[in-house]
Amino acid sequence: MQRPGMISIWFFIGALLLAYGVLICGAGIVEAISPSAAAAARAEANLHWDGVDNLHVAIWWGGLLIILGAIYTIKFAPGKGK
């Protein structure tokens, strides 16, 4: 749906994913440099799988969100039609 002047829902989604990607990727980099209290808390809660620490999931998942978010934000930016 696109009424005249209405911002596309895909732009909102892109902008949010972009912001999330930056936050998550940043958190992943910080976590990789100096593991936080969160890892200790997970281990304490008997939930932790040690192997996940070596995967650096937050960095590549955050990177994926940045790419997706940037594509949608640019493609559906206000004033670019659909």
Asked if 47 touches another protein (CB under 8 A), the answer is: yes
Asked if 13 touches another protein (CB under 8 A), the answer is: yes
- Cα separation, 44 vs 70, whole angstroms: 37
- Cα separation, 21 vs 15, whole angstroms: 10
Per-residue CA distances from 61 to 1, 4, 24, 27 (Å): 30, 35, 8, 11
Asked if 11 touches another protein (CB under 8 A), the answer is: no
Q: Which spans of this chain sit near another protein (rule: CB under 8 A)?
A: 1, 3, 6-7, 9, 12-13, 16-17, 19-20, 23-28, 30-31, 36-39, 41-42, 45, 47-49, 51-52, 55, 57-58, 61-62, 65
